[in-house]
Structure 1
Amino acid sequence: MPSEQMESVEDRLNQIQAILPSLGEQLLELQTGDLGVLTKSNTFDLLTKADTASEAQLVAFIQENFADDVILAEEGSVASDAQEAGERFLWILDPIDGTTNYANGLPVWAISIGLMQDSEMVGGIVCAPGMGLCYRAVAGAGATCNDRSISVNKKASMSEGIIATGFPYDRAKRAEPICRALENMLRQAGGIRRLGAASLDFCFLADGRYAGYYEIGLKPWDFAAGSLIAREAGAKVTDLSGKSLDIFNSAGVVATNSMIHGELMQAAQPMIRAAEL
């Protein structure tokens, strides 16, 4: 990345990261009160007043400080021209990734902020206030957690490590192939986890906690920041067929420490069928 572009990315991430401690404290306080929980298009897809409050603050900050930038966010701040942003910076926001966890009092949720330019992810922050973790990456400059450099683990097989996954909201109609893939993981993986927050799945792969992660049904805001953080930590991130990941169009993702990528892709093959249903 050219130095001028990197400076612009770093400046944007530095400025928005500075407001995250305060925002995190507000969200932790809201979590203990009446969240006004609603469901969106699917019974299992929740929305709380904290989601909208978090998004409103992030969007207002970007609009005030980077007025020419484009914003794509989960809870309504959607840019119709997001995929055509070109040289303009595109912010891809998930105000609370893991809303179901958040609404049920669990600490496993995060504020996910991705930054794209010229159709490439160039920066990302995933902040988990309930766990005191803040992950960050700039393209070509590596990844950190709480300002400490991180990297993927060196597990040579699935049996040596933990594999993470997630389930789509419309999981009932896809249950058979999802369960077939899960059976493969039960037979081959050293451990299986389902956190319910894709951004943190990528980050836990990035800092060596997981050996691999797979999922279908993700939206751009679910994995824009996390996928960059994982790659900058040494992970291999592809779609289900092994091709380059397109955050706007890929049906599913496979991310690993690179050493077990082929093994996990093979075990996750039933997910291709699940994505087609």
Structure 2
Amino acid sequence: MLKTLLATALITSTSFSALALELKGHLTQGGLVIGKLENVTSVSLDGKTLKLSASGDFVFGFGRDATANHTLSWVDEKGKTHNQDLIITKRDYKIDKITGVAKKYVSPPKEVSARISREAVAVRKAREVNSDLQFYLDPVLKPAQGRISGVYGSQRYFNGEPRRPHFGLDIANKTGSPVYAPISGTVVFAEPDLYYSGGTLIIDHGHGVTSTYIHLSKLDVKVGDKITQGNKVAEIGATGRVTGPHLDWRFNWEGERLDPALLMQDTLANKK
């Protein structure tokens, strides 16, 4: 029986030499973990097969409300299955309870419901990309300058009813401030006017990892463009349903929403 791997913070480099398993990242809700295994034919997390590169690299992540216990499994070249238990830490999130909010500010008008549903499907489809790119292995830099005005996981209750949690990191700055690619990738979604998110950009970084940029006033790239870390890709704005100009920056691993603050190094992408 393999021992349980427990990490409460950053895994800078956890290695099990006898098992040939290396992990780095954050074993916590909202965390991304990069792994490496040599001489294996497949890897899975909780029974879900992970994309495995020719050099043995793979990646996985945990959503905002992920449960504590998980199992990483792999099959070696001799056909033997190995299992590694993972325990991720639970986080506390900022909760705001607001009463006396008029209904029109809580729910969108019925006449835009079809548009909202159509746009949600398009965004979800863009995030389903699972390419062979391996830019997720690179350090993640800061995409824009500004004040952190909103954090991952926070949630509001309007008149006692919970709203969707916030899944991004908000960086406030004036409209027109540049947004730079924090890591390289390929543009898979670029739309100037979605109902909720306004100008919206999604970049694929490989193996199911994508980053999203919301409320943009201008997009400098289009679908299919190859982006290099540090390239200017857009400008901050106040488009969509917002109260002021800011960048809402998000990360996904497939359907799991991750915390950009756990990934980001405090270096502006164009100053590397």
Scaled by the length of structure 1, the TM-score of the pair is 0.26
Identify the structure with the greater helix proportion.
1
- TM-score by structure 2 length? 0.26
Q: Which has the larger radius of gyration?
A: 2
Q: Which has the higher strand share?
A: 2
